[in-house]
Amino acid sequence: MAKSHQDARGKPRMTMRGFFKHGSKRALFYDYMSNDSLLDFASMRALFYEYMSNGSLEKCSVGNSPSEENLNWGMLFDIVVGTARGLE
């Protein structure tokens, strides 16, 4: 079940430990390892909930039909920066 996400050097950074699903709601359990130097070592566990009252970000970014409104690149960039700041 463990699925690793690697950094640019190929070292595991995040490992999915499990998930559960109840109806349309899903939660993912991750371990995050930061070992950039011998003096800086941290391990955190994270729980991500998927909340999509207006559909997924993927659906909003690519859409399913030409008539749907899609997010522009500026909005997508702001979402990515905000997410990164939240994880920092």
Q: Are residues 34 and 3 in the same domain?
A: yes
Q: Are residues 39 and 74 in the same domain?
A: no
Q: Are residues 32 and 61 in the same domain?
A: no
Q: Are residues 6 and 24 in the same domain?
A: yes
Is residue 43 within 8 Å of residue 32, measured between CB atoms?
A: yes
DSSP string, 26-46: EEEEEEEEE-SSSS--EEEEE
Q: Are residues 25 and 60 in the same domain?
A: no
Give the per-residue pLDDT at 38.
41
User: Cα–Cα distance between 41 and 66 in angstroms, integer?
Assistant: 47
Q: Are residues 60 and 87 in the same domain?
A: yes
Q: Give 9 or 81, the one with higher predicted confidence.
A: 81
Distances (CA, A) of 23 to 26, 55, 59, 64: 8, 15, 19, 23
Tens-digit pLDDT profile for residues 15-67: 767 777 767 666 667 666 665 544 444 555 555 656 566 666 767 776 655 55
Pick from 34, 31, 58: nearest CA to 45: 31
Q: Are residues 19 and 61 in the same domain?
A: no
Q: Give 80 or 40, the one with higher predicted confidence.
A: 80
Give the per-residue pLDDT at 39.
40
Give the per-residue pLDDT at 58.
67
Residue 88: pLDDT band by 50, 70, 90 thresholds?
Answer: low
Give the per-residue pLDDT at 53.
63
Number of domains in the chain: 2
Q: Are residues 59 and 45 in the same domain?
A: no
Q: Which domain holds residue 13?
A: 1-51
User: Cα–Cα distance between 30 and 13 in angstroms, integer?
Assistant: 10
